[in-house]
Structure 1
C-alpha cells in the first residue's frame, strides 16, 4: 500500500508547531492513526484491498479495490469502522478512568479528540465517513454524478460554516486552526470527488460484468438519452446495482436504436468519452 501525506496535513503540523500546540497535535495524530487503522482492518475483513492511502488533517482518502467495494452495505461498514473505533476508545477510557485505572493530564484531551474525530467524520460531507455512506446509497439510486452534486453542495456549505466558526473564534481571541483545517479538508475532498466522478463511473462499468457473473443476475434498468449525449454522460448516469439498456432518441424524440452497457463500454474504448451516442449507433450498423 502506498501512503501519501497531503500538503494540508503538513501545513497543520507547521502551524501547530509555530503556535506551540505540538503536544495536542501529536495526540490528534495518534487518534487519527487508530481511526484509519480501523478502516483498513474493516476493508480487509470485507475482502478489499487498499492500494493507496492519502492522509488528510482529519481523515484519509483511500483507493479501495476488490469485488463488492461499490456495494452500499460494504462501503457503509468500512466507513463506519473509523468513527466506531473512536467511540469505543472513548467509552473504554471513560470506564477505566471511573474505575481508577486511568489518570493523567492527557486523558481528557484524548477523550475530547476521540469524540471530535467520531462526530466530525460522521458529517454528511466528502471525504468524511458520513459523506461516504450517504454517497454510496445516493449513487445507487441517483447515479454517480447527481449523487456527487448533492454532496458537493452539502460539503461546501459545511466547509463555509466551519470557516465562519474559525473567524468567529478569532474575533473572540481564540485560536482554532483545527476548524480551518477541517473546512479545507472538506472543500478539497469535495472538489476531488467531483473531479474523479467520471473515472469512478467508468471503473464501476468495467467491473460490472464480473459482478454479473458472480451474482448470476442483476436487475435491468431502461434509460432514454438523446443522440448528441456523450458516452461519458451516459456512463456517469448508470446505477451500479443494475444492468442498463439505453434507448437513443433523435432531436425530435423519435427512437433511433438501443444500446446496452457492453456496447457503451466498447464505444468508450474505441471512440473515447466525448463521442456522442449517435456515432456509436452508426458504428454498430
Structure 2
C-alpha cells in the first residue's frame, strides 16, 4: 500500500501548527510535538504487543486516528492500547519534572506531557478516555448501550469544557488553545449524535 494511502493529514493540522508558531514560542511547539509523538508511540508499542497492526493513519487536530487491521483484539487489549498513550505521557511528565532540576526547559516539556496525557483521559470521544469508557461499558453491558451512554457523557464533558474554558479565559486571560479544543470536541460530538439519528 502506498504511503499516500496509508497516511492522511487533515487540512486543520497545518493551520494549527501555524497558529502555534505565530502565538507561541518554538520551544513550546517542540514540547507539544514531542508529547504528541510520545503519545502515539505509546499506543503503537502496545498495539503491536497485543497483536494489532496499523493499516492507515489519519493525523487530525485531535491527534492520530489509527485504523487497525481485521485481526481480533480483545476488549482488554484494546483498553490497554487506548490507555497506553496517556499513561506514557504521564510517566514522562513525572520523569521530566524530576530532571527539570538540572535543566529547566524540561519543566516545559513535562508540562506538555502532563496536559496532553490528562486531556486525553477525559471521557469524551474522540479522546482516549472516551474509548476507554466505551470499552469498559461494552464489556459490562453490550455495545449499543455503551454507545448511548458514552454519547451523553461525551457531549456533557465537551460542553462543560467549552463553558469552563470560556469562563477561565474571560476571568484569567491566557491561551485560547483549550477553548479551541473544547469547540472542536463539542462540534465533533454534536455531529456524531446527528449522524447516529440519521440526520
- Give the TM-score normalised by structure 1: 0.59
Does 2:52 align with 1:41? no
Separation of aligned partners in 2, 1:59 and 1:184 = 15
Q: 8 Å contact 1:159–1:182 — kept in the other structure? A: no
- Counterpart of 1:67 in 2: which secondary structure? coil
Separation of aligned partners in 1, 2:184 and 2:53 = 24
The structure in which a higher percent of residues are helix is 2
Please list every run of 5 or more consecutive structure 2 residues that lacks an aligned counterpart in the other structure.
none
- Counterpart of 1:172 in 2: which secondary structure? helix
Larger Rg: 1
Does 2:162 align with 1:163? yes
Cα deviation, residue 42, structure 1: 0.8
Per-residue CA deviation, residues 150-198 of structure 1 (Å, 9 max, x unaligned), is 112111222122222332233236232221232144335545766888x
- Give the TM-score normalised by structure 2: 0.81
Separation of aligned partners in 2, 1:15 and 1:55 = 17
Please list every run of 5 or more consecutive structure 1 residues that lacks an aligned counterpart in the other structure.
198-285
Greater RCO (CA < 8 Å, at least 6 residues apart):
2
Separation of aligned partners in 1, 2:76 and 2:134 = 12
The corresponding residue for 1:61 is 65
- Counterpart of 2:96 in 1: which secondary structure? helix
The corresponding residue for 1:235 is none
Does 2:25 align with 1:25? no
Does 2:88 align with 1:92? no
Separation of aligned partners in 1, 2:15 and 2:81 = 28
Per-residue CA deviation, residues 23-48 of structure 1 (Å, 9 max, x unaligned), is 42332111101100110111111110
RMSD (Å) for aligned C-alpha atoms: 2.6
Separation of aligned partners in 2, 1:38 and 1:55 = 16
The structure in which a higher percent of residues are strand is 1
